[in-house]
């Protein structure tokens, strides 16, 4: 590296990190140089997110006799990130959840504009030149049409693209991306992979991922963590990386795990007729009709912003149907509380990870599923505690019971949400991109749990951008575009990429 290189070099030397009284990174040594593009892999809980936070200066290493972090930017050297922290753009699920948690509902243009000053909220009105710069970044990310939309009105995937644009607007000297391709449709995912593969920049980046298909063609190196330790660090070779990303055991979802097609529909659980849904005076769903019976397995797919999450939350009861449409739920007669229906439904969705206070213990989060509440309004009963223990054991989470949600990795938190959904053995299971941030081995386990419920006539409605993940299970399919149904009926054969 020349002394005038405008990009960051970072070196870790025997770094240890403790979180919640536990050692999550153990003697990690690693050097990242300008021009290098790293793929960061490892199972849920291996320490990937904490490593990125350590480099970004969000968390602090355990005390050591000698500095364990070294940053070099041109002629500037530092053993702590204070002076150069703003030169690092770190984007992960927690950044996205922060806007939901604090209600930061600015326009997408203003949020991207905060990247210019590297602040969380706008400090001033953007100048004409700054607006042109923001628009150029939005255009590069393919989302200029979202500029005037309120951030919290966007879909999960649209929010992710806007936050990536914000990171790029800051003109970082180092880019740290924690599972940023989660929740993106194929168009947005391909656009970002192409940007990362551009060979003309020396901007170093690190991309954490659980899927081999999300590894950009321009990646040069791989860092693999195992239980907080470096298992491999060096040039990227796809064969061993594939071995790790597959969870040391083949594909995430076995094609042989086919859900038996119901010969005749079970009892009707929920029905939409000509449903329109408006959020913040904007129509998100229009004229959607759908009937879910016991034993059905629906896959809902479509581009970012097509209305998938809104559909699930409407079925659950978070959103109402506009005049002219109808929603009917089994057992919900006049005078019966909507909560009685929700307590028979299991919900797994990204917004739940943002909604639950991070100070809650894992056991409390799972117990809350008994009441369809966020947190506990009353002290848990003996039945609540017993049901939570069974659900935790079913998902291999017993040892996490007393830990807080904030101590877990994103993938571990997703397993907690599955246990929360299971705690009442639901009649209807609503899954919104349920495998986002989950490693391959855990995906296999979770799929088996879902199939076991489906075999007992539980209905499943799952949203997915990777429809092929669920092709072996689906009995029905709904394809959405701009809030309208392009197709609704028996599951069609999934198209195999490249064929």
- For each of the chain's 499 residues, which pLDDT tens digit applies? 444 568 999 999 999 999 878 899 999 999 999 999 999 999 999 999 999 999 999 999 999 888 899 999 988 888 888 888 899 999 988 888 888 888 888 999 999 999 998 888 888 888 999 999 999 999 989 999 999 999 999 998 999 999 999 999 999 999 999 999 988 999 999 999 988 888 767 899 999 999 888 999 989 999 999 999 999 999 998 877 888 887 653 333 444 445 444 446 689 999 999 999 999 889 999 999 999 999 999 999 999 999 999 999 999 999 999 989 999 998 887 767 888 899 999 999 988 888 888 899 999 999 999 999 998 888 899 999 999 999 999 999 999 999 999 888 888 999 999 999 999 889 999 999 998 888 888 888 999 999 988 988 999 999 998 777 787 889 999 999 999 999 999 998 765 444 3
Report pLDDT for 35: 92
CB 427 within 8 A of CB 340: no
Report pLDDT for 328: 93
Report pLDDT for 250: 37
Report pLDDT for 497: 44
Q: What are phi and psi of 15, to 5 degrees?
A: -80, 135
CA atoms within 13 A on the CB side of 10: 32
CA angle 126, 130, 132 (to 5 degrees): 120
Which residue intervals of the chain bear CATH 3.40.50.300? 8-245, 268-490
Report pLDDT for 377: 85
Between CA 211 and CA 246 the distance in angstroms is 8
Q: Does domain 268-490 have CATH number 3.30.70.2740?
A: no
Residue with tokens 């950044």: 95
Between CA 2 and CA 45 the distance in angstroms is 37
**Measured CA distances, 234 to 30, 213, 245 (Å):** 9, 20, 16
**Measured CA distances, 446 to 349, 379, 415, 452, 464 (Å):** 14, 29, 8, 10, 15
Report pLDDT for 159: 93
Strand order in the sheet with 268-279: 282-293, 268-279, 326-329
Q: Cα dihedral angle (75, 79, 82, 83), rounded to 10 degrees? A: -10
Q: Which residues pair with 233 in a beta bridge?
A: 223
Between CA 431 and CA 186 the distance in angstroms is 19
CB 298 within 8 A of CB 461: yes
Residue with tokens 């190196």: 221
Alpha helices, DSSP H only, in 395-490? Answer: 410-422, 440-455
CA atoms within 13 A on the CB side of 158: 24
CA atoms within 13 A on the CB side of 5: 19
Report pLDDT for 254: 44
DSSP conformational letter for 154: S
Q: Cα dihedral angle (108, 112, 114, 116), rounded to 10 degrees? A: -160
Report pLDDT for 93: 86
Report pLDDT for 338: 87
253 SS3 class: coil
Class assignment of domain 8-245?
Answer: alpha beta
């Amino acid at each position: 590296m020349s002394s005038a290189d405008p990009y960051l070099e970072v070196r870790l030397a025997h770094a240890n990190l403790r979180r919640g009284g536990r050692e999550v990174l153990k003697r990690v040594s690693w050097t990242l140089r300008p021009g290098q593009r790293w793929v960061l892999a490892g199972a849920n809980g291996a320490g990937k997110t904490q490593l990125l936070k350590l480099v970004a200066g969000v968390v602090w290493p355990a005390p050591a006799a000698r500095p364990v972090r070294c940053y070099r930017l041109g002629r500037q050297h530092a053993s702590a990130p204070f002076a150069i922290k703003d030169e690092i753009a770190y984007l992960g699920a927690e950044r996205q959840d922060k806007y939901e948690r604090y209600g930061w509902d600015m326009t997408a243009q203003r949020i991207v504009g905060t990247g210019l000053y590297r602040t969380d909220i706008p400090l001033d009105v953007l100048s004409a030149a700054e607006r042109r710069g923001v628009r150029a970044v939005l255009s590069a990310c393919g989302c200029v049409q979202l500029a005037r939309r309120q951030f919290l009105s966007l879909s999960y995937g649209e929010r992710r693209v806007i936050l990536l644009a914000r990171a790029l607007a800051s003109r970082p000297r180092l880019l740290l991306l924690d599972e940023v391709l989660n929740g993106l449709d194929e168009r947005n995912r391909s656009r970002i992979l192409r940007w990362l593969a551009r060979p003309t920049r020396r901007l170093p980046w690190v991309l954490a991922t659980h899927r081999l298909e999300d590894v950009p063609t321009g990646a040069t190196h791989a860092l693999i963590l195992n239980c907080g330790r470096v298992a491999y660090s060096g040039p990227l070779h796809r064969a061993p990386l594939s071995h790790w990303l597959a969870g040391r055991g083949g594909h995430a979802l076995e094609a042989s795990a086919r859900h038996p097609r119901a010969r005749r529909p079970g009892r009707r659980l929920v029905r939409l007729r000509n449903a329109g849904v408006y959020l913040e005076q904007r129509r998100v769903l229009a004229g959607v009709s759908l009937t879910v019976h016991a034993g059905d397995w629906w896959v809902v797919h479509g581009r970012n912003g097509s209305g998938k999450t809104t559909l699930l939350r409407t079925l659950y009861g978070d959103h109402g149907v506009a005049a002219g449409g109808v929603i009917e739920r089994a057992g919900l007669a006049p005078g019966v509380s909507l909560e009685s229906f929700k307590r028979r439904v299991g919900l797994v969705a990204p917004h739940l990870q943002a909604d639950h206070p991070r100070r809650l213990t894992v056991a409390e989060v799972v117990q809350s599923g008994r009441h369809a509440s966020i947190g506990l309004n009353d002290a848990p009963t003996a039945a609540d505690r017993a049901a939570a223990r069974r659900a935790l054991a079913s998902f291999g989470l017993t040892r996490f019971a007393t830990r807080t949600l904030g101590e877990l990795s994103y993938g571990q938190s997703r397993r907690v949400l599955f246990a929360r959904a299971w705690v009442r053995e639901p009649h209807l299971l609503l899954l919104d991109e349920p495998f986002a941030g989950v490693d391959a081995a855990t995906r296999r386990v979770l799929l088996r749990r879902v199939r076991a419920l489906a075999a007992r006539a539980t209905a499943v409605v799952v949203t997915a951008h990777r429809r092929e993940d669920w092709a072996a299970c689906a009995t029905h399919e709904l394809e959405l575009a701009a809030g309208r149904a392009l197709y609704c009926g028996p599951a069609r054969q999934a198209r195999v990429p490249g064929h």
